[in-house]
Amino acid sequence: MRSDSAWLPGSLLWRVALLSVVVVFLQISVVSEVPVFGVSVDLSPLLVAFTGLLCGSMIGAVAGFCVGLLIDLALMQMLGVTSLTFTIIGYWAGRLRELRDPQAALTPLFVGAAAAATAMVGYSVIEFLLGVDAPVSFELLREIVVGVLVDTVVALPMWALVRRCLVGGLPDDPRRRRRRAYTTGGLSPLSQSRGAR
């Protein structure tokens, strides 16, 4: 078990930054060129959601803003649309971790599906509100539905990758330590006070 003094927040930020750059450029140069059922797999909202789910709302929101800005700059599209959507995704996933601390095995699947849906619907709504000429049709709805399904399939491998890359830099969560102690036979503070008498 690692002491709190061994955890350096800078190492986590470097890991998140490096992983974000690698995933964004992999997305733009390789993954987007291989359509699946007529849509491209979008790894970026999954990366942002899982970063928030592992690191909390603050780092999730910052990662979402930076990843969105990097995508907008790399694709030379309207700045801020992707950043706004991804900031919401990262913050929401981080708040889920902070308020509920989900431990279910299928949590990454549901979070990935919600992140993909939020990214696609949010981007379309913001473009529509800004007056960008984007056709609203059943074809767009089909692309959103198929895109969410494809991203949901990719969610578990992406979760494993993000967790593997960030787990060494994550701080110990005191709630998880406390819960682990209770479930593995550790004494609760009430039991310890009784035993001390």
More confident residue, 32 or 172: 32
Q: Quick one: tokens of 45?
A: 């909202």
Place of tokens 């550790």: 186
Residues recorded for the chain: 197
pLDDT digits (tens, 9 = 90+) for 42-99: 899 999 999 999 988 899 999 999 999 999 999 888 888 899 999 999 999 999 988 8
For the chain, the average pLDDT equals 81
Q: List domains and CATH numbers for the chain.
A: 8-195 (1.10.1760)
Q: Report how far apart, in Å, the C-alpha atoms of 183 and of each of 163, 179, 186, 193 are.
A: 23, 6, 7, 18
